Structure 1
């Protein structure tokens, strides 16, 4: 029984992580995978930051909740905070069009966004406990 529960949990975690990345891909005005195929390091860094930020929130949600439903709900709350981060950060930097800089391969923007996503992932995960 424990192995079945573990397997179900791992599947749910993988599905939530993948869904999170699909949603992130949908909010960018360019195709993330096309940019990655071109070797756009800035997009790779930002996308990696999104992945790790999402994984941090998901990991803490899984660790601190005993049911898959509660884990999923807390992940949703944390994930929505992570999604809002992009829009808020874009809003507070009006002279910078983040998506344009990423698409042009601006590494500084890619690194900055990666760390913003990681920082928000850590900060939001502390609220889940």
Structure 2
């Protein structure tokens, strides 16, 4: 019975952390992500998908490698901060244009690149968690 309770609590914490992560990411852009998705903006969809996948990778590795929910949450926080840093570093190394402006305009190349920056960062950071 205790195993079932631990599993349910762990899943709920993972879902909560994933949602919190996505809300924080949405605050980083000056536009409304869901409105852009409704309008069919593929660039935003790619960037948002990369954000979701990268947080899922970090959460998955943190959950797999930690027996404590607290340590899982701690490692997720560390990994998540690395994802935020990756976004701002990517912004820094793209002088002459703002990423969010190009995403809002539907620049698929920027959306795809940002998606891969997030996923690549998640894989790299996840190797530190083990």
TM-score, normalised with respect to structure 1: 0.98
Distance 1:18 1:53 in 2: 13
Deviation at 1:96, TM superposition (A): 2.5
Aligned to 2:89: 88
Aligned to 1:79: 80
Distance 1:118 1:88 in 2: 15
1:57-98 Cα offsets, whole Å, 9 max, x none, are 010000000100000001000000001111111001112311
1:23-71 Cα offsets, whole Å, 9 max, x none, are 0001111111111111101000000000000100010000000100000
Q: How does 1:107-118 map to 2 (within 5 A)?
A: 107-118=108-119
Aligned to 1:101: 102
| Residue 127 (str. 1) matches residue 124 (str. 2) | no
Distance 2:95 2:128 in 1: 29
Q: Which runs of 4+ in 1 moved over 2 A?
A: none
| Residue 47 (str. 1) matches residue 52 (str. 2) | no
Distance 1:18 1:82 in 2: 15
Distance 2:93 2:42 in 1: 24
Distance 2:115 2:78 in 1: 20
Distance 1:54 1:39 in 2: 23
- Unaligned 5+ runs, structure 1: none
Aligned to 1:5: 6
Distance 1:11 1:86 in 2: 27
Aligned to 2:38: 37
Name the count of aligned residue pairs: 129
SS of 1:94's equivalent in the other structure is coil
